[in-house]
C-alpha cells in the first residue's frame, strides 16, 4: 500500500477484467467516462477533473497496467495490450460505450482502443500524443522515465524531484502525484510504477501510430499544449493532414501536461467536444 496518501486520493477499488486486475477511482453518475494517465503516473492525476464532471458522468480513472496499484505483469506493454485492457474493462463494467479521455500514453491507448473496438467507444479526447513524434523526443522521454526510478527519503523529497521534472505543473497537482504515486519500502519511498514496465512501455511508445489514427471511426478530439515538447507543431500538422476531419484544440501557454497545467481550458474543451 502506498504510504502517506491522503484519504481523498485513496478511494479506489480493484476490478478483475478476466485478463488483468486494474485499480480504479470512481465517482459520479451518468454516461461512462474513462480516464487514462500518462507514463509513470496513475489515476489520481485526474481526480480534480473528475470532480468537475461527476455531476454529468460516471467518471472512472484507471491505473493502467504496470502503474499505480494495478497488476504489473512481466511483459505486455505494447499499444495493443493496453487497448485490450480498455476493451476488457468496458465489457466488465457493462455500462455501454464509453467516452475515453487519455493523456500521453493514455491518449495513445485510447485512440488504439477506439480503432480496435469501435462498438465499445463513444468518443475519445486524445491529449498530447499523436503520430509523427520525432525520434529524439522519444530518446529524451526514455531518459526521463528511467531517471525516475529512485529511492526518496520522504514525500517532501518526492515533491522537490517532481517539481524539477515538471516545472509548469502547479503545486497542488505535484502534491497529488507525490502523495499517490509512491510506496513505502525499506529506506524510503519508491515509485509504484514498475521500472521494468516503464522501460517496456517507453520503448513501445515509438511504434507507428498512424494506422490507428487512419482507421479510427469514432469522434476524436486532439488536444495539444502550445508549448509541448512531446508533440511538436510539425507532428500535429502531419496528424491533421492524415485526419483533417478530427478537431484540434491547442491550449495556449500549456506544455505536455495540459490537463494539469491548464485544467479549466482543458475541461472546457472536453465539455464542448462532448456536447457538440
Given 12, 43, 104, 180, the catalytic residue: 104
Report the C-alpha gap between 153 and 188 in whole angstroms. Answer: 4
Q: Is 172 a catalytic residue?
A: no
Q: Of 230, 219, 223, 220, which Cα lies nearest the Cα of 250?
A: 223
SS3 248: strand
Given 9, 37, 103, 256, the catalytic residue: 256
Report the C-alpha gap between 193 and 68 in whole angstroms. Answer: 6
Q: Which three cell numbers stand for residue 72?
A: 504489473
Instruction: Compute CA 65 distance to the chain's CA centroid, rounded to the nearest angstrom.
Output: 11
Q: Is 256 a catalytic residue?
A: yes
Which residues fall within 8 angstroms of residue 113, CB to CB, at 6 or more apart?
82, 83, 86, 87, 100, 120, 121
Q: Is 128 a catalytic residue?
A: yes
Summary count for the chain: helices (H), strands (E): 12, 10
SS3 82: helix
Contact predicate 72/81, CB 8 Å: no
SS3 206: coil
SS3 249: strand
Given 128, 180, 194, 228, the catalytic residue: 128
The catalytic residue positions are: 104, 128, 256
Amino acid at each position: 500500500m502506498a504510504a502517506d496518501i491522503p484519504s481523498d486520493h485513496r478511494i479506489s477499488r480493484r476490478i478483475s477484467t478476466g485478463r488483468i486486475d486494474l485499480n480504479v477511482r470512481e465517482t459520479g453518475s451518468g454516461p461512462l467516462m474513462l480516464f487514462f494517465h500518462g507514463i509513470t503516473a496513475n489515476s489520481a492525476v485526474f481526480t480534480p477533473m473528475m470532480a468537475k464532471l461527476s455531476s454529468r458522468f460516471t467518471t472512472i480513472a484507471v491505473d493502467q497496467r504496470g502503474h499505480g496499484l494495478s497488476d504489473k505483469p512481466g511483459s505486455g506493454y505494447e499499444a495493443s495490450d493496453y487497448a485490450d485492457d480498455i476493451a476488457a474493462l468496458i465489457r466488465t463494467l457493462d455500462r455501454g460505450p464509453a467516452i475515453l479521455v487519455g493523456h500521453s500514453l493514455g491518449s495513445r491507448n485510447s485512440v488504439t482502443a477506439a480503432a480496435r473496438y469501435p462498438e465499445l467507444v463513444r468518443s475519445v479526447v486524445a491529449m498530447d500524443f499523436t503520430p509523427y513524434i520525432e525520434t529524439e523526443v522519444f530518446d529524451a522521454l526514455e531518459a526521463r522515465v528511467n531517471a525516475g526510478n529512485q529511492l526518496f527519503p520522504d514525500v517532501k523529497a518526492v515533491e522537490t524531484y517532481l517539481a524539477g521534472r515538471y516545472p509548469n505543473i502547479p503545486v497542488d497537482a505535484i502534491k497529488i502525484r507525490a502523495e499517490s504515486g509512491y510506496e513505502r519500502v525499506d529506506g524510503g519511498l519508491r515509485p509504484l510504477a514498475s521500472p521494468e514496465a516503464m522501460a517496456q512501455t517507453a520503448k513501445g511508445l515509438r511504434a507507428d501510430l498512424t494506422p490507428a489514427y487512419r482507421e479510427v471511426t469514432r469522434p476524436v478530439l486532439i488536444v495539444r499544449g502550445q508549448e509541448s515538447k512531446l508533440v511538436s507543431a510539425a507532428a500535429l500538422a502531419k496528424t491533421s493532414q492524415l485526419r483533417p476531419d478530427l478537431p484540434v484544440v491547442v491550449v495556449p501557454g500549456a506544455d505536455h501536461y495540459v490537463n494539469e497545467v491548464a485544467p479549466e481550458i482543458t475541461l472546457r474543451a472536453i465539455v464542448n467536444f462532448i456536447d457538440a
